[in-house]
Each structure stands twice: as structure tokens, then as C-alpha cells.
Structure 1
Amino acid sequence: MNTPRIALVTGANQGLGRALVEGLAARSNPQDLVLLTGRDAGRVDRAAAEVAREPGTRSRVEGRVLDVADAEAVAALAAELKLRHGGVDVVISNAVARLLPDRSQAAQADEFIDVANGGTHAVLRSFGPVLRPGGRLIVVASSLGTLGHLDARLRPRFDGASLDQVEYAVESWRSAVHAGTAQEQGWPLWLNVPSKVAQVAAVRAVAAERRDRDLAAGTLVAAVCPGMVDTATSRPWFADYSQARTPAEAARAVLDLVFAEGADPELYGELVRSGKVLPWPDGTPPTAQDRLLVP
């Protein structure tokens, strides 16, 4: 009998995260386990129970409470899965805090950075070491995550940086936001832009350390861009959703990457959209008039 595969998705009680769980559960085997995680116990339990009852579900589905902003909780869950199952096969870091257009960016900075960036760092640090050979460690980012979206003064902080250096740059940015000096230092007004660049830089940092042994084992570490997705998180920012994907549609390309045979060296450590690499140097810094949250 094959060893059961263990998959985990963060920020998964709704939207894209839930669609990713649904897709994993539909494509996995009956002995496999998919963990649906989120911060609210009631929502997590309801979502996991609903997915488990869906006609297309083939694998086991369980809900687990996990606040990715709590690095100790992330580490504890990774250690538990290592002890109980010998590791994990698929980890998709998807959690994000909602941004609202009618509140200042500074007022929302801490929660957003703690979840999107602190959560990414915690998942990479804790689940990277327990990822089994042939596994997938995926961070959901966006097309805004390429380096060119930052002012040229800021790019050296992320280009070729270690994970520690990325974390330091993120905290420097957070401090500048609260001090009111972010824009004069070149940071974009919209939090989503430096946050996504930092997420991709964190993936690149971890991938640079693991590349040779991961590719030899068929293991993939990457960031993904799901495209514009019609969710409660993105709806406040756009009037026209005619080009947006449903969560299920957006999840499909991510899951194709998860279930692909082996690990494509061209995709390893990169930001991938629909199977194609978005080059790291690409992008243009947003203007003050832009309200860029487009994935």
C-alpha cells in the first residue's frame, strides 16, 4: 500500500484556499489526508465538513485551527505532522488578511504584513524541513511580486537576499509605514505591492538553498500567481469582474503544478502563472493613482 500523502492549505475556509482544498481532495487518493486550516474554529470545522461531503471528494479532509501569524503555532503543527506522518507532501501558503479601500493603508499594515509576510516566512521555515521528497511547497502571491514593481532604490534589499534579509527588509518597510516615511523612501503606497515582492523574494531565498537536492528528489518550491480571482477579499477594489476567475478556475492551474510529474527546473524557485514563469526583474513601480491589488 502506498504511503498516504499529507497536504495542507492555509487560509482555506473560503475563496481560493477552499477551492484548493476541494481540488486536492478530488485529485488525491482515499488514504490521503488534506488539512484545511484557518484562524476561526467554527468556520474551519464547517468548511472541512462541507468539503468532506462533496460528491467529488476522494480523500480524507480534516480542519485544523492555524493562525499563520503565530510562528510558534506553525512550527508546532509542522512538528506534529513530522511525528505523526513522517512529514508532509503538499503545503500551499495561501493565507492573507483583507485590505479595505475605505481604511488607511497604515491602519491595516500590521495585520496584513503579519499574515501575508510573517505567515509566509513561518511556513517556509517550519514546513520546508518536513517536506518529503517529491513534495510541493507553494506560496500564493501575485503578478505584483516581481522586483520591477519596486522603486530602484529598494530592489537590492530583496534581490538575491537570504530569508533573514527579506524579513529585515519587511520590518524596515513596516517601520517606515508607521513613521510616515515610507513614500519618501520609495515604498509604494499600496501595501500589496511590497508584500507580494517580499513573498516571492522569500520563496527565492529558500529555493536557492535547497535547489540541487530538491530537483534531484523531484521536489518543487515555487510562488504562484492565480490571476484575478472573484473573492470577498478582492471585490471591494474592483467594479468590473468580467475578466475575473472563480476560485475553482484559479485553483486549477495551481493544482496542475502540484500534481505535475517531477519538478521542472525552469519553474523551481520562480513566480509561476499558468505554468509560465513571470521573470523576477519585470514590472513597473505603481503610481500614487494606482490601486493595484490585481493578482
Structure 2
Amino acid sequence: MPSDVLSLSTMTRTTTKTPRVALVTGATQGLGLALVEGLARRLTPADTVYLTGRDAGRVAAAAERLSEEVGTGARVRGELFDVTGQDTAARLADRLRDRHGGVDVVFGNAVMRIGPDDDPRTLMDEYTEVSNFGTTRLLRAFGPLVRDGGRLIVVASSLGTLHHLAPVLHRHFDGLTSLEEVDKQVAAWRDAVKDGSARAGAWPAFVNIPAKIAQVAAVRALAGLRRDEDARRGILVAAVCPGMINTPTSGLWWDVSAAASPARAAGPLLDLALDPVDPAHYGQLVRFGKALPWSP
């Protein structure tokens, strides 16, 4: 094992003497639910996994069901969390700080999915609030809470690289150095879609592409600010691609009959969250254990 991986592995082991705390957003179904279940099964009864979502009834039902199914694993605790609220991420972070002092694993998985028959112009406000501004709010609120040896992970897609964007548009997301810059670029793209000017330019019609690229850009921007300190503390900040998943929403766009189930797709993501840190993953988009190139 390389010495840099070994040192981070040792740090991770020494920081797990206290109960660990994990949080998953968008966790009442699909991949998010599978991540909560996987974390609960891999962690200990002393640990806590927060299952969060925007519908109180669904959150409570999912948390109760998983608590029964997991049995002797970590405690599954439901928590209402709408990532579109201006202050909801900060308030939740404050509550978890008061309860636990910090967090060890955060998965940003909340997303609003758009079907092929939807007109993005009518949905862009809510879509970007969930997928993009929700992501940057989560990173701002929970970044300071991640304890030594912890993980701050955004679930994105292999579409989230500049390879999928026309070169003339790369400047919008390449080299950004703050989450504020990312938000500014997302707002400009959102407005261009809403007023129709994006169609006259080089922006792709499939809005998932710029949204995912912006999510990865946010991770890269935050990582650039934290890199040295996170390396010292054994913290991983990364985006992750789970690959094609067999869900009803994905089935609207593609043939997913041979795709992985949410539980199977969650496996590599859980490995990223719980295995020793690979420094090559820091600030990158990781797919099946390998960092994907950001630019052509």
C-alpha cells in the first residue's frame, strides 16, 4: 500500500473511536435510500445515519422500515430537510453540531429529475434550486462540520465533465475558485434556458449535462480552497458517478433493463465513503473507483 494511502488509512482508523455520523440527502427512494441502508449495515450500533428528504411522511416511513430491516446496524434517524430552503442546510448543520459535534460522511444526493416530455423552461427555477444551489448550500453548511477522516461527497454523473460541453462554453465552469462563482454561472445558464437564449447558443438541450458539470465544478472549487488542510486531516471531498441505475425515472430516457439496481449501484459509493482515502480522488469526479478526467 502506498505510504500516502497508508497514512490516511491510519488517520481514519484513529478517528473512528467516537460514534460516527452520516447524512444522506434525497434519501427516501432509489440510490439515496440504498446509501442509507448500506451505511447502516456497514457502521456499528453506536453510529447514526440520517435519512433526509423533503416529505415528512416519506422520511418517517423510510426510516422506520430501514430501522427494522437493518436490525443490529447503525441507528437510522429520519430528518426533514428540503435542500431548496435558503437556510435549511445551515439549520440542520447547527442541529447536528449540537447533537454530535460534527459529521463523518455526507452524501449530497438530492436531485430533481426532468422527463423527456417536460419543458425545461418551466422547471428551471426548481430544478437548479435542488440540483445546483442545493448542492452548494450543502457544501457550505456541512463542509466545516466534517471531522478528521471524514467524507464530503456529491452524487453527480459521468456527464459532469467538460467533455460533454461545447468548447466555447468551457469558460463558464472551468477554473472556478469559489462556490459563489459556481452559483453565478448556474444562475446565468438557468436564465438563458428560461428566456430561450440558450437554444440559440451552444448549450445542450439536455439540461442534466450543465447541471452535473456545475455540481462537479462546485466540488472542484471547494476542494481547491481546502486541499492542504483536508490532506492533513484525512478528509475526502469528491463527486461520484454511480453509473446507470435501473429506476423508473432513468427508464424514461434510456433502456435500463440491464442497469444496476440502486443497492448494487450504491456499493462503489459506500466504498468511497468508508474505505481508506486515495489522494488521487480528492476534488475529482470518481466512477467505479477511478477519477474521470475533467477536461478533454
Q: TM-score, normalised to structure 1's length? A: 0.92
- 1:179 aligned to which of 195, 204, 214: 195
Deviation per CA, 1:186-233: give whole Å up to 9, x if none.
211111000000000000000011111111111100000000011232
Cα RMSD (Å) of the superposition? Answer: 1.3
Q: How does 1:220-235 map to 2 (within 5 A)?
A: 220-235=236-251
- 1:269 aligned to which of 283, 287, 293: 283
Unaligned runs of 5+ in 1: 283-295
Q: Which residue matches 1:137?
A: 152
Q: How does 1:140-219 map to 2 (within 5 A)?
A: 140-161=155-176, 162-219=178-235
1:35 aligned to 2:50? Answer: yes
- In 1, the alpha carbon distance for the partners of 2:195 and 2:120 equals 13
Letter in 2 for 1:209: L
- 1:71 aligned to which of 68, 74, 86: 86
- Give the 3-state SS of the residue equivalent to 1:245 in structure 2: coil
Deviation per CA, 1:237-266: give whole Å up to 9, x if none.
12x2233110001000000011112x2210
Q: Residue 273 and residue 56 in structure 1: after superposition, are their counterparts in 2 closer, same or farther (change >3 A)?
A: farther
- Give the 3-state SS of the residue equivalent to 2:104 in structure 1: strand
Q: How does 1:53-72 map to 2 (within 5 A)?
A: 53-55=68-70, 58-72=73-87
Letter in 2 for 1:93: G
1:45 aligned to 2:60? Answer: yes
Q: TM-score, normalised to structure 2's length? A: 0.92
- 1:26 aligned to which of 33, 38, 41: 41
- Give the 3-state SS of the residue equivalent to 2:211 in structure 1: helix
- 2:269 aligned to which of 242, 250, 254: 254
- Residues matched between the structures, number: 280
Does the aligned pair in 2 maintain the 1:133–1:218 contact within 8 Å?
A: yes
Does the aligned pair in 2 maintain the 1:12–1:38 contact within 8 Å?
A: yes
- 1:84 aligned to which of 87, 99, 117: 99
Does the aligned pair in 2 maintain the 1:32–1:60 contact within 8 Å?
A: yes
Instruction: Kindly report structure 1 stretches of 4+ aligned residues shifted beyond 6 Å.
Output: none
Does the aligned pair in 2 maintain the 1:150–1:194 contact within 8 Å?
A: yes
Q: Which residue matches 1:237?
A: 253
Letter in 1 for 2:124: A
- In 2, the alpha carbon distance for the partners of 1:207 and 1:223 equals 10
The alpha carbon displacement at 1:55 in A equals 4.2
- In 1, the alpha carbon distance for the partners of 2:71 and 2:243 equals 24
- Give the 3-state SS of the residue equivalent to 1:35 in structure 2: strand
The alpha carbon displacement at 1:56 in A equals 5.8
Does the aligned pair in 1 maintain the 2:246–2:258 contact within 8 Å?
A: no
Q: Which residue matches 2:23?
A: 8
The alpha carbon displacement at 1:156 in A equals 1.1
- In 1, the alpha carbon distance for the partners of 2:152 and 2:108 equals 8
Letter in 1 for 2:152: L
- In 2, the alpha carbon distance for the partners of 1:94 and 1:247 equals 13
Structure with more helix by fraction = 2
Q: Residue 215 and residue 234 in structure 1: after superposition, are their counterparts in 2 closer, same or farther (change >3 A)?
A: same
- In 2, the alpha carbon distance for the partners of 1:108 and 1:98 equals 10
The alpha carbon displacement at 1:103 in A equals 1.7
The alpha carbon displacement at 1:150 in A equals 1.3
- In 1, the alpha carbon distance for the partners of 2:135 and 2:251 equals 23
Does the aligned pair in 1 maintain the 2:246–2:257 contact within 8 Å?
A: no
The alpha carbon displacement at 1:184 in A equals 2.1
Does the aligned pair in 2 maintain the 1:32–1:59 contact within 8 Å?
A: yes
